[in-house]
A and B are shown apart, each in its own frame.
Chain A
Amino acid sequence: MWSRRLSRLRPVVCGVEELRRRRREREAVLRKARREQQLVSKRLLREDAREEAGEGLVVAILGEVEVQQFLRLAQRGTEEKEREKALVSLRRGLQHPETQQTFIRLEGSMRTLVGLLTSNQALLQLEAARCLHELSHSEQSAVAEACLPATSYLLTYLSGHSSDFIELCLYTLGNLIVESEAVRRQLLPQGIVPALAACIQSPHVAVLEALGYALSQLLQAKEAPEKIIPPASASSSILGSTLPQHMLQLLQPGPKLNPGVAVEFAWCLHYITCSQVNNALLITHGALSTLGLLLLDLAGAVQRTEDAGLELLACPVLRCLSNLLTEAAVETVGGQMQLRDERVMAALFILLQFFLQKQPSLLPEGLWLLNNLTANSPSFCTSLLSLDLIEPLLQLLPVSNVVSVMVLTVLCNVAEKGPAYCQHLWPGPLLPSLLNTLAFSDTEVVGQSLELLHLLFLYQPEAVQAFLQQSGLKALERHQEEAQLQDRVHALWQTALHR
C-alpha cells in the first residue's frame, strides 16, 4: 500500500547538484511568495512531446498566421487525421507563453476551441482540452481568464465517464480556480461544488487525485471561509455537500488507500479545519478517528520504508488533528471518536524521530500536536510518561529555539497535572536539561524554562535542592535584568531560597 508512489516524473537528465540548486532556488521563491501571501501553484499534465516528435525540448513559437491555420484546419479539415494533427501542433505551440498570447488575442480563437471541445469527435475533444489545459497553466492572468467561456463545459464533462478526459478537465479547472476570485465567482454559480461532489464517487485513482487537487485550490481561496465552505445547509457549499464524508472515506487507512489521493484530500481537510467554519460537523463525521488511524498508519509506514514523501501526507494530517483538538466538541464526543491514547502517542513520537532525520523543519508542527494532545488530557500525559518518552523529547531541545520552546511547553503541560506527574519528571534528565536551556539566549526559551521550573518546584519540592546544588541560582542570575523575565526569575529565586 505504501509502495513507492508511481512516479510520473521523467528520469532526470541533469546532475544531482543541479537539481539541488534548482530546488533551493524554487524554495526561496516560494517562501517569498508566501510571505507576500501570494503563494499560488498550478499543476501541469503534459504528454512527453519530446519522445513523440523526436526533437529537442525547444518548442517553436507559433505566429498568428500559423495559429489561425491550425485552428481552421482543425475545424474544417476533411480528413480526421489531418484535423487531429493540426490541433496537436497547436497544442504543442501553446506550451510557449508567446503563442498563448497570440492565441488569446486572435479573434474567435477561444470560440473555435470551445467548439472543438464540444464536438463529438473524441480525439479532437481531447486535444482541445489539452490546449485549454496549457492555457490554464499560464502565469499570466489574461491567458488563464481567456478560458472562462469553456468552464461550463468542463463542469458538464465531469459527469461523463471517460476517466482520462475527466482528469484533464479537473486539473484545468484546478488551475483556473486558483487564478483569481473573478474566475471563482463564475465557477461557483456554475455549480462546481455539486459537480465535484458527484465526481468524487469515481473509482479511478487518477480522477480522484485530480479532484483533490482542484478541491484544494478551491478551499485555499481567500474567500473560502465565508463563501465556499459554509453554510451546512446549502448544497452548493462544501459543508452542505457530501464532500466531507467522501473525503474522510478516501483517507481511511487500509489496502485501498492511495498516497497521492490521500495527500490531496488531507490538504483539503486541512483548509477546511483551519477555516474553523464548522469543525464540530467534521468531528461527527468521524474525522478524529479517521485521522488518528491514519496517523498510526503513517507511523507504521515510516518504520517500514525509506520512502521520502510521507511527510507530504504527515504534515496536513498533523495540522488537522491539532486544529480539531481545540474544538469543544472533542470533550463531549466520547467513545469511538476519541483517539486511543497510547498508540497515538507512540505513533507521534515515531513521526517526530522521522522528522528529526528527514525534515527537521516539520518538528514544530509535530510538537504542536503533542501540545494539543497533552494540554487538557491527563491520560495523554500519563502515556507520555509510561512510554518513557521524556528522554526522546529532551533530545529535541538542541534543534532550534522554536522546537525548544515547544518541548518545554509540552513538559509544562505534563508537570501542571500535579505531583504524581512531577514525580516522574524528577529525578531524571530533566533538571540538567533545564539548566542547559536557562543558558540559551532566546527569551522565550528561557521564559518557558522558568515556567517549568516553577511547576517543578511547586509539585516536587525536593528538586529545589538539586537545583541549588547544580548552580541553579547562577543560571537564574544571568536573566534578572531581562524585562520580560524579571518577575519570574525573582519569584523562583525566592522559592528556591525559602524552601
Chain B
Amino acid sequence: AAAPRAARPPGRAARGSRAAARGARPRGRGRAPSSSPRAWYASPREHEFFEDGDVQRHLYLQDVLSQVAEAPERPRVPEFTCHVAGCCQVFDALEDYEHHYHTLHRNVCSFCRRAFPSGHLLDAHILEWHDSLFQILSERQDMYQCLVEGCTEKFKTSKARKDHLVRLHLYPADFRFDKPQKGRGPATPGASQNTAAEALGDDREPSEGEAMEVCSEPTAPSPAPAGGRWTYSHRIPSTICFGQGASRGFKSTKKRNKHH
C-alpha cells in the first residue's frame, strides 16, 4: 500500500533491497549515489514498524479500565435544596445537583415548562409550539428545521421532518424530543405513548411527571409527549426571570428563555 513516492521503511517486513524498490539509478562511478534520500510516508496499519507504538497506545487505553474512584472522592456537603423556586429536590453532592439543574432547569420552556436536553432543541420547540408567526409562515414556506445538528434541511410539516429524521438520519420513530403537537389544549393520553411504558405493558409514562414531584407545586416540567398534561402555573415567582416576561408576541421569542 505504499504511495508511489514512498519506499518501505526498513524492518522485518522489508522485501528485497530498498534501492531496487525505488527504481535505483545505475551505480558505479557515476556522480549520483545509487539511492537518493527520500522522506517516506508510512501507514501504520500495515507495517510492523509501528507495532510497538500502537501496542503502547492500546495498553494505555486499557489501563484506564481500572476502577475509577469516583463516588467516594466526591465531597459530601450539607444537604441543600435546589435553588430554583418551586423545586424541592434535595442534594448532598454538588455533581448530583449540577446534573439535576442541567436536566430540569436549564433549557426550560417558559410557556409549557417542558425541559429539553439542549438549547438547540428548546429553541426549535419554542418556535414550533409557541410562536404564532411561525405557524403563519409555515403555511407558505418550509419552516420545520431538521433536529440533527449540522443538517440544514427544512420541511413543510412536522411529519415530513420526522420522515426525514427516520429515513435519512436513522432516528427512532418515537424519538422523545420530537413529539408532534396535538392542538393547544391538554390532549388525551393518546397514541404517542412512551415506548418504555409499552415495554412492560403499562400506561405509566405520561403521568410520570406528577408522580415524581416531591413538592405540591408542580413547577418541574414534564417533557412528556403531547399526550401528557401541561403543568402550567400562573404564578411565576419573582425570582425567576424570563427576560421580557412570559408574554408572547410577534417578536422573536427565541432568546428570551435561556438561562445563562
Bound pair (A, B):
yes
Interface residues of chain A, those whose CB is within 8 Å of chain B, are 8-10, 23, 26-27, 30-31, 34-35, 37, 39, 41-52, 71-72, 75-76, 78, 80, 107-109, 111-112, 114-116, 118-123, 125-126, 149, 152-153, 156-157, 159-165, 186, 189-191, 193-195, 197-198, 213, 235-236, 241, 263, 267, 270, 274-276, 311-312, 315-316, 319, 322-323, 325-326, 359, 361-362, 364-365, 368, 371-372, 374-376, 402, 405-406, 409, 412-413, 416, 443-444, 447-448, 451, 454-455, 458, 484, 487-488, 491, 494-495
Chain B interface residues toward A at CB < 8 A: 3, 5-6, 9-12, 14, 16-19, 27-29, 31, 33-45, 49-72, 95-96, 98-100, 102-104, 106, 115, 117-121, 148-151, 168-172, 175-177, 194-200, 202, 204-205, 208-209, 211-212, 214, 220-223
Identify the closest chain B residue to A125 (Cβ). B103
Task: Give the residues in chain A near B62, CB-CB below 8 Å.
Answer: 26, 41, 43
Instruction: Determine how close the nearest CB of chain B comes to the CB of A13; give it in whole angstroms.
Output: 11
Give min CB distance, A382 to chain B, whole Å.
Answer: 15
The 6 closest A-B pairs by CB, nearest first: A115-B196, A194-B150, A108-B199, A361-B52, A159-B118, A372-B39
The answer to whether A197 and B68 touch (CB under 8 A), given A120-B222, A375-B39, is no
| CB pair A164 B98 closer than 8 Å | yes
- CB pair A48–B71 under 8 Å, yes or no, is yes
| Chief secondary structure at chain B's binding surface | loop
CB atoms of B150 and A197 under 8 A apart: yes
Structural contact, B53 and A315, CB atoms closer than 8 A: yes
Do A365 and B53 contact each other (CB < 8 Å), given the known contacts A111-B196, A374-B37, A413-B37?
Answer: yes
A267 touches B57 (CB 8 A): yes
A423–chain B nearest beta-carbon distance, Å: 17
A47-B71, A191-B151, A444-B14 are contacts. A121–B59 as well, Cβ < 8 Å? no
Q: Is A376 within 8 A of B68, CB to CB?
A: no
Please tell me if the beta carbons of B151 and A119 are within 8 angstroms of each other in the complex. no
Complex Cα spacing A109 to B66, Å: 28
CB distance from A228 to the nearest CB of B (A): 14
Q: How far is the CA of A197 from the CA of B39 in the complex (A)?
A: 33
Q: How far is the CB of B182 from chain A (nearest CB, A)?
A: 20
Alpha-carbon separation in the docked complex, A115 to B202 (Å): 13
Contact partner of B17 (CB less than 8 A), chosen from A162, A197, A241, A484, is A484
With A276-B3, A405-B10 given, name 14 new contacts (CB 8 A).
A37-B45, A41-B62, A43-B62, A80-B212, A122-B96, A122-B102, A122-B103, A160-B117, A164-B99, A191-B149, A194-B150, A235-B150, A236-B150, A368-B49
Q: Pick the contact of B71 from A52, A157, A161, A495 — CB < 8 Å?
A: A52
